Structure 1
Amino acid sequence: MQPYQGRAAPGARAAPGPAGFGCHADEPSRQVRPVPLPPVQQNLNYYPQIFWVDGCADAGAPCPPAAPAAPFPPPVPERSRKPRDHRERTSAGFLVMFLLILVAFTGVGLSIFKIFHLEKEVDELRESASAERIPPASQKLTGEKSEGMEKEARGAAHVTGNPAQQDLPLEWEPTSGHAYTSGIQYHNRGLLVSEPGLYFVYSKVLFRGSACDSQLLSHVVYKRNPASPGSLVLMEDKATNFCTGQRMWARNSYLGALFKLRKMDSLHVNVSKIALVNFEESKTFFGLFKL
């Protein structure tokens, strides 16, 4: 196909050019120049004619104003940094959360340890207070009272049988074996009270013989006081017909009761016959303690 090489008709107005191309009224008219195209090869491809317009066809016609140039588009931000920033923020968030959880668990652990330590101290204080407040039963029986760290000794005495007997009242052993005295004096074969109060007095005697003769056995506890003449019987035990036949025999006599005693009261023990008394310390004894 041959390109068109004619000219524009006189008086005809050329079509306006593409955006961005314009002409001024004082410019001379320009003619359209055809652009040669390569020949068609084997009628397979078709190339249309392309006309290049570089001016207005008619010098007398006004040219349209030139279109303003399009502004440059804003720069496109780099998208490759967004996923990176997102990952960094996620990692930072996980790190902060982990630190907060670690601090919380540390606080809980310290609180549990402190509570356990305080409970242990409270238990120790309770045990020490209980030990100081409650006195043992042995202290009550012996007249010892615990008041904090100080102990107030109360009068008590326990004397045992003495085989070296001569006459009445009975003579006792105040120091050896199970015998002891505390706040009570052993004086003139008796126990001397130095402080008035309520006392428990007790005495035990074992009578034993090789033949039964049905004689009277008596066991008496009495007291004396310099301010009062004579003696006052506190407790007494008498027995008759306690054995039968011609054989060995034994009989226990025990006396015990509460008495209100005065200062300088002295307590003694009498029996009907010294020869029938077994003076072993576990079988014949005498004592008292203050309540």
Structure 2
Amino acid sequence: MWAYKDRAGSSPGAQSGTAPAVFACPVEDHTKHVQPMPLPAMQQNLNYVYPQIFWVDGCANASTSCPPTPPVAPFPPPVPDRRRKPRKNSERRSVGFLVMFLLILLALTGVVLSMFQIFHLEKELAELRESASTEHIPPALEKLIGQNEQSMKKEARKAAHLTGNPAQQDLPLEWEPISGHAFTDGIQYRDQGLVVNETGLYFVYSNVLFRGSVCSSQMLTHIVYKKNPASPGSHVLMEDKRINYCTSQKTWARKSYLGALFKLRKMDSLYVNVSKIALVNFEESKTFFGLFKL
């Protein structure tokens, strides 16, 4: 069922030249009641008539029974966004990779700086060597190098090892200080003896091989003694005597070894003496004499 009105509120056939009719909404039959809602008084005084607005209520009559309003279900609690966890994990991974990258970069930087410093030091050392070869050393640097050389010589162990010399003329025994296994470091070989340049503890040793073709009853004597200009005379440090060293007329050989620790003073001179030079075998591996500072 449709209802309509014109501008003056009459039917469309009542007046001519009026405004077009305004149609209202369809109204259900019997089940719903239409209640007109009056417009405000200020709007009713206007020449233009507005269409009426109807309030539709399915249960306007209190006498009729209305079905109960179904309870409105509460909204469920918001579901947490699980997509944030992967984002957090990815962010943590990215931060971890960044930290590892920075650490590796820092380590590489340290290695490069170390290599550069080593290269720079090697270059300076090469320049110093070149300047030393061309004799253009500054006085301060030359003094420093001299001091270092002296300290290195002092730190080096003082030692000497002498070997037998067959060109013997007289006692004490003469020695070879340079050739073969012989050497002298910090110890001077002078006048057939070893001269100590620094006071300290020294281990002194001497080995002599006696050999003959005819047995004799002569005593074999092997002595190591010292001298010092501050005290007259000589002082025996070690001595070895042998008798009955052969029992037949065949060729024989006997070894005599002496070795002990002594406290020697500066300018002490050490010598080796034997009973008979003709019975000494002067091979460097069989007859030798030496000492070293502890």
State the TM-score bracket (shorter-chain normalisation): 0.5 to 0.7
1:68 and 2:71 correspond: no
Distance 1:195 1:64, change over 3 A: closer
Q: Distance in 2 between matches of 1:246 and 1:217?
A: 17
Q: For residue 165 of structure 1, give the secondary structure of its aligned residue in structure 2.
A: coil
Report the Cα offset of residue 208 of structure 1: 1.0
* Distance apart, 1:191 and its partner CA: 0.8
User: Can you give the 5+ residue segments of structure 2 that lack an aligned partner in the other structure?
Assistant: 15-35, 39-50, 56-82, 115-147
Q: How far off is 1:226 after superposition?
A: 1.5
Q: Is the 8 A contact 1:154 1:182 kept in 2?
A: yes
Deviation at 1:29, TM superposition (A): 9.7
Unmatched tracts of structure 1, length 5 or more = 1-16, 32-62, 71-89, 122-145
* 2:274 aligned with 1:289: no
Q: Deviations over 1:86-116 (max 9, x none)?
A: xxxx8xx989976763453243255357569
Q: Does 1:167 align with 2:199?
A: no
Counterpart mapping for 1:53-132 below 5 A: 66-68=51-53, 101-102=93-94, 104-111=96-103
Structure 2 CA distance for partners of 1:106 and 1:249, relative to 1, 3 Å: farther
- Give the superposition deviation at 1:210: 1.5
Is the alpha carbon distance of 1:94 and 1:176 closer, same or farther for their aligned partners in structure 2, counting shifts above 3 Å? same
Offset at residue 236 of structure 1 (A): 0.6
2:177 corresponds to 1:192: no
Give the percent of matched residue pairs that are identical in Structure 1 and Structure 2.
62
User: What letter corresponds to residue 105 of structure 1 in structure 2?
Assistant: F
Count of residue pairs brought into register by the alignment: 197
What is the identity, as a one-letter code, of the residue corresponding to 1:232? H
Alignment partner, residue 126 of structure 1:
none
Aligned partners of 2:86 and 2:274: how far apart in 1?
A: 100
The separation in 2 between residues aligned to 1:154 and 1:64, in whole angstroms, is 126
1:1-291 map, 5 Å: 18=2, 21-22=4-5, 27=10, 66-68=51-53, 101-102=93-94, 104-111=96-103, 150=152, 152-291=155-294
Flag the 1:28–1:265 CA change in 2: closer, same or farther, 3 A.
Answer: closer
Q: 1:103 to 1:246 in 2, by over 3 A?
A: same
- Alpha-carbon distance between aligned partners in 1 of 2:214 and 2:183, rounded to the nearest angstrom: 35
Structure 2 counterpart of 1:184, which letter? I
Separation of aligned partners in 2, 1:23 and 1:217: 166
SS in 2 for 1:215: coil
Q: Tell me the CA shift for residue 221 of structure 1.
A: 0.1
Shift of 1:217: 1.1
* TM-score normalised according to structure 1 size: 0.56
**Deviations, residues 25-75 of structure 1 (Å, cap 9, x unaligned):** 8747979xxxxxxxxxxxxxxxxxxxxxxxxxxxxxxx99753289xxxxx
